[in-house]
Amino acid sequence: MSTLVMIDDDEVFRELMSRRLEREGFRVLAFASVEAADAFEGEPVNVVLLDLMLGAESSLGAIEHLNRRFQPAQLVVLTGYASIATTVEAMKRGATNYLAKPVALSQLLSVLKDEARTASPSSESARRVTPAELEWEHIQRVLLEHDGNISLTARALGMHRRTLQRKLKKHSPF
């Protein structure tokens, strides 16, 4: 039985996904924060599922620590705010995969069972990118370059800070 550590601050999602993964044969240890997961002492962990946004904070900085702490075969980042910039950054820091919420259980299981790497590309992944998606990606990249500082990002993008905040309040166009 594989042991899976799930770190997500959404209690409903955490409980629902835990039950589903347990039915699939995983031993799930669910935590609301990286600090709570850090306190876990027990058998080796095979997989870490990490929510990108824990409260108002990004968990990108915790990826390297979690890889050192648990040494999992896989560290999968889950997020409701997917962007190319955060995907690249998560992978650079040691994530093995990055999935956008809501994630289908079948898709998650495919990744966890390592079938996703051998699957052929779907027609969805080969679709054209819309202008709204390109803008979102550019904003996310510039925001990441400025460590999340809205004022500096707005200045770099040549737009008013309130305009940028409105665009960020809208969820990803994906």
CA 59 to CA 56: how far, in whole Å?
Answer: 10
What is the predicted pLDDT for the residue at 54? Answer: 86
Q: Whole-angstrom Cα distance, residue 3 to residue 37?
A: 13
By residue count, the chain amounts to: 174
What is the pLDDT, as a whole number, of residue 124? 44
pLDDT at residue 50, as a whole number: 94
pTM greater than the 0.75 cutoff: no
pLDDT score recorded for residue 64 = 94
User: In what side-by-side order are the strands of the sheet with 74-79?
Assistant: 27-31, 3-7, 47-51, 74-79, 97-100
The pLDDT tens digits of the residues spanning 50-93 come to: 998 888 888 888 999 999 999 999 999 998 877 788 888 889 99
pLDDT tens sequence for the chain (174 residues): 789 999 999 888 899 899 999 999 999 999 999 999 988 888 889 999 999 888 888 888 899 999 999 999 999 999 887 778 888 888 999 999 988 887 888 888 988 886 434 333 443 444 555 677 777 777 877 888 888 889 999 999 999 999 988 888 775 554
**How do the domains of the chain map onto residue ranges?**
3-112, 131-169
- Structure-block tokens of residue 121: 């590309």
Could you tell me if 134 and 145 are in contact, meaning their C-beta atoms sit under 8 angstroms apart? no
Contact predicate 50/63, CB 8 Å: yes
Q: What is the mean pLDDT of the chain?
A: 83
- CATH tag, 131-169: 1.10.10.60
- The CATH number of the structural domain formed by 3-112 is 3.40.50.2300
Q: 43 vs 154, 163, 165, CA distance in Å? A: 47, 49, 44
Q: Check residue 128 and give its pLDDT.
A: 57
Report the C-alpha gap between 4 and 30 in whole angstroms.
Answer: 8
Query: Phi and psi dihedrals of 159, rounded to 5?
Result: -135, 165
